[in-house]
Amino acid sequence: MCGIVGYIGKRPIVNTLLNGLKRLEYRGYDSAGIAVVEDDNIKLIKKPGKVSNLQNSIEIEWPGYENIEFNLGIAHTRWATHGTPVEKNAHPHIDDKQSFSVVHNGIIENYSSIKKQLIKKGHKFSSDTDSEVIAHLISELYEGDFVKAVAAALKQLHGTYGVAVISKYHNDRIIVARKGSPIVIGVGNDEMIIGSDVSALISYTRKVIYLNDNDIAILKKNDIEIIDVENIPVTRETAHIDWDPASAEKSGYDHFMLKEIFEQPESIKNAIRGRLNFETGSPILQGLGFVPKEMVELSNIVIAACGTSFYAGLVGEYYFEDLANITTEVAQAAEFRYRNPIIQPHTMVIAVSQSGETADTLAAVREAKQKGALVAGLCNTVGSTIAREAGVGVYLHAGPEIGVASTKAFTCQVVIMLMMALKFGRSHRLSRQKGLEISKEITEIPKLVEEVLKSAQEIEKIAKKYASVKNAFYIGRGYLYPVALEGALKLKEISYIHAEGYHAAELKHGPIALLEERIPVIALANDVPGKDKIIGNIQECKARKSPVIATATAGDNEIEEHADDVIWIPKCSNFINPIPTVVALQLFSYYVAKEKGCSIDQPRNLAKSVTVE
Ligand code: F6R
């Protein structure tokens, strides 16, 4: 969602901020802006549209900006929540005395009552946003002490925030704070870089400090002080980021999404590396940290997640029940805390989140802890809020995922849940022999994915054929049912084709009414249990004139009699099938969207990390 950058130090301020914004473009946004302090003035430019629009305006309005010695600055990419994406609503916001400027991620729930009070006191507002009240409130409360004014203002806010504030009265510091919306501080030599995620600062420093909720940090170029809203000093550890900035580049691919699809053999290898144990058949997942007794006693699992991570959770449900014999439920994270879930003793809640910052999944983690569950995070982003708050968990090691549509995170989530299920299974009824067999099959997954990637051109041909459709159905059964849901989500989010994923048997209970010759059905008809029934379902679709694209197991040529087009998936076990199959569906969506000329890495209305409810 929105992105924050801030900088104080020796580098050219505007260039550094613009570079940071460009690194955050992947999060999805609709406007951008920048504010700098020059001596004792705040200068501000904001524009709807891309960071390049902002840069063009800066070149016109601040000629020679590269050589101007600004003191410090903040910048923002906005994803509209309150108010349309127009210039006045873009961040940074500034109070009407032009004294304090703010960039904000999150939602201020009580902004309207604060705004009314401030208007009564004579403040003039210039935007429709909730965020603008923060700048006015700080200005209203300011009596010469910047930190005190910020802390007093934050105490009045209900909702969530990650903020960076600058003041014309204090040209040597930026104040940042967080509650529910992440802020990372990059610590350099005589410089501090702020980001709402590490991508904004990774090319400058690997040394970072993650703020916790209610922290306020006062940043000078060579000093950092962290306090809480009650002005009590707090200590936060410095962490080291070990991913390579080059991994956040496109490396010759047309889109990050394509690059990330093709990275999957490698990202899956990284997710597996050092974790399989060919002595015991029970994977080594150090981060889980549960003692063997807790593993043996584990009787229930609840997986909480959103979107693609939710669908990965549905595959996980099959693994935990099939391999570990543990009753498993997959919960929509957004509903988890509102439906007052019953957490039985010996329940583990697994929060699955690529970003580790999804607001609803984070809230589920907090609710689960409150109810006494064992909580584990399955996150990609190291040091993310969910990873830290869950306390224990397993990192995906998928590397940075920049394309808004999740691809490599999904396959790594599935592989990790397979390893977790294997581990829990070995603590329950699963034999060593079976554990070793499954471990061996897990090592084969990267090769299977490579096989699918080799057929990218054939998939592209099929995708081109169907790129003009307006609607599509995906159907699957068993392990491939969640893959049908994920396939449909991928198609709709990047190609804007209305696509629905269904259990194949459910089609007859309503949706079949829609089928006709302009609505293709993508049937996951791999040679796994349930295949015969899927073939029956394909007949039902053909009888309604829907064209059928089938995924099928290599060598199972019988399928060609039933389907109009076939995407071949290499032969593998039932429980491994979701992984190569989803890769084929990712490619299919990608090529459909490419054919339609869609904005693949930043689809309209979508944000990479959904940090509001
Ligand atoms: C779809 C997609 C989203 C995310 C969802 C959860 O391609 O990326 O549906 O999966 O917003 O995000 P995380 O996994 O970061 O919690």
Taking the CA of residue 407 as reference, the ligand 1 atom at the shortest distance is 7
Beta carbon of 609 within 6 Å of any ligand 1 atom: yes
For atom 3 of ligand 1, the residue with the nearest CA is 307
pLDDT category, 400, cuts 50, 70, 90?
confident
Give the phi and the psi of residue 476 in degrees, each rounded to 5: -160, 170
**Tens digit of each residue's pLDDT (9 = 90 or more) over 216-227:** 999 999 999 999
Model pLDDT for residues 10-47, shown as the tens digit of each residue: 999 999 999 999 988 877 788 999 999 998 899 999 99
- Name the CA radius of gyration of the chain, rounded: 25
pLDDT at position 246, please?
66
| Cα–ligand 1 centroid distance for 482 (angstroms) | 15
- Pairing state between β 93-94 and 100-105: antiparallel
How many whole angstroms from 212 Cα to the centroid of ligand 1? 22
Lowest mean pLDDT among 75-79, 309-313, 419-423: 75-79
Q: Is 406 in the pocket of ligand 1 (CB under 6 A)?
A: yes
> Residue 212 carries which DSSP code?
P
300 lines ligand 1 (CB under 6 A): no
> Is there an atom of ligand 1 within 6 Å of 308 CB?
yes
3-class SS letters over 285-342: CHHHCCCHHHHHHCCEEEEEECHHHHHHHHHHHHHHHHHHCCEEEEEEHHHHCCCCCC
User: What spacing in Å lies between the alpha carbon of 603 and ligand 1's midpoint?
Assistant: 13
pLDDT tens-digit readout, 539-550: 999 999 999 999
Say how far apart CA 472 and CA 270 lie, in whole Å. Answer: 34
Which residue's CA lies nearest to atom 16 of ligand 1? 353
Q: Which of 355, 365, 389, 486 to mutate to test the pocket of ligand 1 (most atoms within 8 A of CB)?
A: 355
Centre of ligand 1 to C-alpha 494, Å, is 13
The catalytic site residues sit at: 2, 608
Q: For residue 119, how far is its CA from the centre of ligand 1 (angstroms)? A: 39
Q: What is the pLDDT of residue 295?
A: 85
